[in-house]
Amino acid sequence: MAKFPIFSCNFPLIFLLSSFYFLTLQPISSSSLKSLNNNPNFDSEIALFGDAETVDAGSYVNITRPSVSSSGLLLRQKPFKFLDANLSSPTSFSTEFTFSLTPGSGDGLLLVLAPKDFGSTFSGKGPFGLNGENRFLGIEFDTEMNGNVNDLNANHIGVDVGSFVSLTVGNVSSLNLELNSGEKLKSWIDYVASSKRLEIRLSKLGEPRPYNPITAYGIDLLAMWKNEDVYVGISSSNSNGNSSQISSVYSWSFRLRNIPNSMHSLPVNPRGYLDEHGEHLSVHKQRVCPLTVLAGMIFVTGCGALVAFVVLFLWAIIISRHTVFPAEFPVKPVDFRYEKINVVVEKDADSVKKQSI
């Protein structure tokens, strides 16, 4: 009987200690998006980490809160490989998502791919909550100007590999768009393994997919990650002291594609292409040689003369078949003889008498 009161008195303390243990030693918890499984705007097998939470009965997700040091992650828990033994060619992917960024300062939004389950180790510290991660590919929708990482302005899209120093940058202002206007925007990101080309497109929600990308980068993800498992997610953070931006995602789909090398096409812009480092190269103009021009003129002249000869020859044959010539008669010499003829005119006797009377 004496042990029961002791157990009942110590039970709340044991409960608090155990709760404190799990809260302090366990990584940032995730909540499965069960309420979004029936939402056609999101893929299944998605989890939330950090400050990310569903809003409006699960219709969309707020990745960050309007507070300092807020960060969150929307992660696709099913990994994939760029080198799949079951496929005849390396894996390509296409993804599209709708998002908005409220006015104010903040890191913006990042689509990130990494060769490990970075959701289980998501610390929420550093830019986009990826503190210590150095093997990633990121496409950042940046709303801050930071010159030491090659930022073009406070309204750009950059491609990052292993660090947040952008290797190529696209100016969103050139599209008459503003990332942190609070307006819903839609982005399309495509990677074609056969051409080793990454393309990013952006427009307002409801507008058609742009023909030309806002920026593109040449990269071989197969050589970068080989047959490792790769995870993809959408991250955001407010790492600065005065950040209060809310990053929201309204839809997200991610699709893997297997494109044979025979279907490889040229870049969107036929006047240029990207080299393996992502730099834009123009098609070089060839020098014109005078001898080449002269030889070309002689060749064209000869071809023209040959064609004219053939046409005249055929014309002559056709005309000769339809022309009728008059028959020819033999010409013989004819002799003419001239004779002198004397004509005697005799008058009637009666007429003479009448004239005399």
Residue 194 lies in a domain: yes
Please report which helix (H) or strand (E) contains residue 22, including its range: helix 3-25
Residue 310 lies in a domain: no
Q: Find where tokens 């022309």 sit.
A: 323
Distance CA 159, CA 300 (A): 50
pLDDT reported for residue 203: 97
CA distance 92 to 193: 5
Domain that holds residue 38: 32-260
Q: Give the pLDDT of residue 223.
A: 93
Q: Does residue 268 belong to any structural domain of this protein?
A: no
Report the pLDDT value the prediction gives residue 123, as an integer from 0 to 100.
76
In this structure, is residue 87 part of a structural domain? Answer: yes
Rounded Cα gap, residues 45 and 61, in angstroms:
15
CATH of the domain at 96: 2.60.120.200
Provide the residue count of the chain. Answer: 357
Q: What pLDDT was estimated at residue 133?
A: 76
pLDDT confidence of residue 346: 59
Residue 299 inside a domain? The answer is no
Q: Does 291 reside within a domain?
A: no
CB neighbours of residue 46 within 10 Å: 21
Phi and psi angles of residue 182, each rounded to the nearest 5 degrees, phi first: 85, -5
Could you read off the pLDDT tens digit of each residue along the chain, which spans 357 residues?
A: 444 344 344 544 444 444 433 333 333 334 445 456 677 888 888 888 989 998 888 889 999 988 878 889 999 989 999 987 776 778 999 999 999 999 987 889 999 999 888 887 787 787 888 877 788 999 999 998 887 777 888 899 999 999 989 999 999 999 999 999 999 999 999 999 999 999 999 999 999 999 999 999 999 999 999 889 999 999 998 877 677 889 999 999 999 987 655 444 444 443 333 443 444 433 333 445 677 778 888 988 888 888 888 888 888 888 776 655 555 555 556 555 656 666 555 555 555 455 544
Our count of domains for the chain comes to: 1
Residue 59 included in any domain: yes
DSSP 136-167: -EEEEEE-S--GGGT--SSSEEEEEESSSS-S
pTM of the model: 0.65
Distance CA 75, CA 30 (A): 10
Flag whether 135 is in a domain.
yes
